[in-house]
Amino acid sequence: MNWRHIQLIYHREMRDQLRDRRTLFTIAVLPLLLYPLIGLLMMQVAQFNREYSVRIRVVGHENWPQAHPLLDPQRKLSLPTSVTEPARLIEFSTESWPVDGEGLDGLRRTSSSAVQLDLVDAVLIVKPEFQSHMQRRLASAAIKVEASNAAEIATELVGSKVVAEQATAPFTDDGLELVVNLARDHSQLAQSRLQRVLDSWQQSWISQELVLAGVSPQLVEPLVLSQTDVSPVSVRRAMLWSKVLPFVMLVWALTGAFYPAIDLCAGEKERGTLETLLSSPARRNEIVWGKLFTVATFSISSALLNLFSMHATAGLIVKQLALAGSSQAADALGPLPIHALGWLVLLLLPMAAFFSALALAVAALARSTKEGQYYLMPLLLVTLPLVSLPMIPSLSLNLGTSLVPVSGADFLVRSLIEGRYAEALMHLPVVVMVTIACCLLSIRWAIRQFESESVMFRESDRWNLQSWLHHLWRDRGMTASPAEAILCGLIILVAMFFAQFMAGSSIADWNAVVRMTVAVQIGLILMPCLLMALFLTRSLRHALRIHHVQPSHLVAAICLGVTLHPTYTALGNAIRYVYSLGDQIQAALAHFSQIIYAQPLWAVLLLLAVLPAMCEELTFRGFIFGGLVKQGGALRAILITSLFFGFTHTILQQSIAATIMGVMLGLIAWRTGGVLCCIAVHVINNVLSIGLAWMPANHYELPPSLSWCLRVENDTWLYQPQWHTISVGIALVMIAILFNRSPETQRVVQVEAL
């Protein structure tokens, strides 16, 4: 590359962007104004936030135990000062128990009408049997007093199972009934406040009865737990910011990269300056690097301005809270240490490069700036889960999370901010490798977009359904187009998503397994690609890539399927070690295994080994791969089909293993030019996986002739360590045979030309 060209393009694009008032306002001015205005608005709105009193009607208040009443004659709570705050916000009204024979049902109807008409927020019905129930509880305790000492009395009154259950749901069946309208906020608030009052009354009643029984109420007081916080004050104050600020910073880094990218791609198409730039002596990759540096500059600037503006605004609000007496909130939102800002800036640099290349590649697809703006929301929806994952409290930096793009870098920075340097240093190599791989792939995608004439010179036109359908039928090719291939994969994923909820836990026997497998493999995976191949292509055989295969390639594929299986098994064990299976998934898999182990081996292999291999390979390495591999998109075809193939497996651990296996199958499909070798490898892998589990489950003895490659351990057939090593060597030889000449996809291109 000529860095002089890149520098000239960078200066050109920077001058153009700095002349754009909309870009300057979005990137520079808006962050400086947004957060102070939001803070001012929040402080103004906070003045409206006050607690309102709730209205509670007590029907049958005379039925309350007179020895320890709930309300005094002035309809105020006769409780200790510990419940002053909730009592202050409750307006009680009393009503005697009806004596006209209305009954409990009529009282419920009357109370429900009062609540629905908003005359009161809740109605507490005190039934006549409430006082007698409390007396029976005391009589039961008094009987036990005769055979218990004072400590045992306390245990009976407070620590018994009955009292413990009543503490969790104190007055459900004890003669009390609450009528509320939970669709109204005030009614929900009345319920929660009344519950606190009743809990306080119950504790007060228990203390009084303990005193009458000669037992000190201190026996039932909760334990006081003193704690020592060993975290530094700076780290404790940075805890909240370490979760919030990376999220805001990364979102703004993506947003700050996208709008300049649209202007540098779709905007130049509209202005007619893109042709001049592409005809310059600069090569396409130099143009991309120049534009990439420009987009990354605006991305970093936007994220930094938002970061410092948000932190400064929050610091002023924290000081205001401290002056207002909210010391707890001020401590929780303390200032972010300087070193934490440094770690955040370090996180921003690779993420800005990744988001800039991603935005540049996506923006290159747009025909106009208006169309490019529509692409921002899908890009945000894909990125937000990765950015939001570190905000989950139960997750932390480990080998599993460090392998997740974007999230792993965020987890690493959180560990550095919180001072866990040993943990961060342990996972630093993995995070760096994943981040570099993501950046390189996104940059490579952006370069490929600029190298494609069909992408660069697409013109914006109005869409017409009739002409579009006519175009699809008239311009059908021997294989699908890239857009049709991606559409097929998306249809399959959406169908698989809804099928998970429709299936539920309906796998009860072998017949259910057969129905489910056939419906998924044929109905949801194979059928969409067959229909699209019939209507959108001119040759079903070419669309599914069912081509003639060299015998040497087929033999190499069979040997490769056998020799790759030990490595695939080890990979699956490693994935389950990093991402452990949940108890519910393990139980479901155990139930499924019991069903299939009880069936003949030939039936299990036919249903779960041969059928999935044929359907999945014809779909992913056939129709979808054939559409994506056009115009030299081999890497695109391998990666996208691997992701589609992985996501069709509903369990995370299986999805990861299937995605990695899909890369190898994609390489085989690319080099052999067809799908038959992929089917052979897939069938052999499934047969070996099922066979090695089915045989010991049915108490078959390991044949002595296989002891050189298999061993028995805990009633499980495992590969011998030496076979792992030998199989890797043989697999490399088979891969060399498959890669000994140029890929056979050229034949498909020639057929398309005819």
Q: Are 205 and 139 in contact (CB under 8 A)?
A: no
Residue-wise burial string across 211-248, b where 16 or more C-beta atoms lie within 10 A, e elsewhere:
eebebebebbeeeeeeeeeeeeebeebbeebbbebbbb
For the segment 659-686, the average pLDDT, to the nearest whole number, is 91
Distance CA 557, CA 156 (A): 74
State yes or no: pLDDT of 165 exceeds 50: no
Q: Are 107 and 58 in contact (CB under 8 A)?
A: no
pLDDT tens sequence across 636-645? 889 999 999 9
> What confidence category does residue 463 fall into, taking pLDDT thresholds of 50, 70 and 90?
low
CA atoms within 13 A on the CB side of 242: 29
What is the predicted pLDDT for the residue at 233?
62
Which of 185-189, 450-454, 512-516 is modeled with the greatest confidence?
512-516
What is the predicted pLDDT for the residue at 461?
54
Distance CA 552, CA 721 (A): 29
Q: Are 439 and 431 in contact (CB under 8 A)?
A: no
434-440-443-448 Cα dihedral, nearest 10 degrees: -120
**DSSP secondary structure code for residue 214 in this structure:** T
CA atoms within 13 A on the CB side of 527: 9
Percent of the chain with pLDDT over 90: 12
Distance CA 194, CA 67 (A): 20
Coil, strand or helix at 477: strand
What is the predicted pLDDT for the residue at 606?
94
Distance CA 314, CA 300 (A): 21
For the segment 347-358, the average pLDDT, to the nearest whole number, is 86
**DSSP secondary structure code for residue 550 in this structure:** -
- Sequence-distant (≥ 6) Cβ neighbours of residue 237 within 8 angstroms: 331, 332, 333, 334, 335, 336, 337
What is the predicted pLDDT for the residue at 169?
37
E-state strands within 165-272? 176-180
Distance CA 19, CA 297 (A): 15
> What confidence category does residue 539 fall into, taking pLDDT thresholds of 50, 70 and 90?
confident
Q: Are 300 and 399 in contact (CB under 8 A)?
A: no
What is the predicted pLDDT for the residue at 455?
64
What is the predicted pLDDT for the residue at 563?
92
Distance CA 331, CA 338 (A): 17
User: 212 is written with which tokens?
Assistant: 């009458």
For the segment 112-141, the average pLDDT, to the nearest whole number, is 80
Dihedral sign from CA coordinates of 512, 518, 519, 525: positive
pLDDT tens sequence across 194-231? 888 888 887 887 777 777 777 777 766 777 777 776 66
For the segment 656-683, the average pLDDT, to the nearest whole number, is 91
348-352, 596-600, 687-691: the lowest-pLDDT one: 348-352
Dihedral sign from CA coordinates of 272, 273, 279, 284: negative
What is the predicted pLDDT for the residue at 464?
58
Distance CA 488, CA 479 (A): 13
Q: Are 111 and 123 in contact (CB under 8 A)?
A: yes
Distance CA 185, CA 181 (A): 9
What letter represents residue 365's amino acid? L
What is the predicted pLDDT for the residue at 101?
58
Coil, strand or helix at 453: helix
Distance CA 643, CA 654 (A): 12
Output the average pLDDT for the chain. 79
Coil, strand or helix at 273: coil
For the segment 520-528, the average pLDDT, to the nearest whole number, is 92
The angle at the Cα of 534, spanning 532 to 536, to the nearest 5 degrees, equals 55
Higher pLDDT, 16 or 555: 555
DSSP for 309-337, written as a single string: HHHHHHHHHHHHHHHTT-HHHHHHTPPPP
Q: β-strands 54-59, 90-95: how paired? A: parallel
What letter represents residue 574's amino acid? A
Q: Are 150 and 213 in contact (CB under 8 A)?
A: yes
Percent of the chain with pLDDT over 70: 80
State yes or no: pLDDT of 571 exceeds 70: yes
What is the predicted pLDDT for the residue at 526?
92
Residue whose tokens read 């589609």: 644
Higher pLDDT, 502 or 382: 382
Distance CA 548, CA 538 (A): 18
233-236-238-240 Cα dihedral, nearest 10 degrees: -150
Coil, strand or helix at 201: helix
For the segment 600-605, the average pLDDT, to the nearest whole number, is 92
What's the Rg (C-alpha) of the chain? 35
Distance CA 617, CA 104 (A): 68
pLDDT tens sequence across 407-462? 888 888 888 877 788 888 898 888 889 889 888 888 888 888 888 776 666 665 55
Residue whose tokens read 């029976």: 136
Distance CA 64, CA 506 (A): 52
State yes or no: pLDDT of 153 exceeds 50: no
For the segment 71-82, the average pLDDT, to the nearest whole number, is 68
What is the predicted pLDDT for the residue at 340?
72
Distance CA 727, CA 738 (A): 16
For the segment 561-587, the average pLDDT, to the nearest whole number, is 87
User: 41 is written with which tokens?
Assistant: 């608005």
State yes or no: pLDDT of 70 exceeds 80: no
End-to-end C-alpha distance for the chain, whole angstroms: 37
Instruction: State the CB neighbour count (10 A cutoff) for residue 340.
Output: 24
Coil, strand or helix at 508: coil
State yes or no: pLDDT of 332 exceeds 80: no
- Sequence length of the chain is 754
The angle at the Cα of 300, spanning 437 to 380, to the nearest 5 degrees, equals 65
Distance CA 192, CA 205 (A): 20
State yes or no: pLDDT of 116 exceeds 70: yes
pLDDT tens sequence across 265-322? 888 888 878 778 888 888 888 888 888 898 888 888 888 888 777 777 777 776 666 6
- Sequence-distant (≥ 6) Cβ neighbours of residue 380 within 8 angstroms: 251, 254, 255
State yes or no: pLDDT of 502 exceeds 60: yes
State yes or no: pLDDT of 344 exceeds 60: yes
State yes or no: pLDDT of 618 exceeds 50: yes
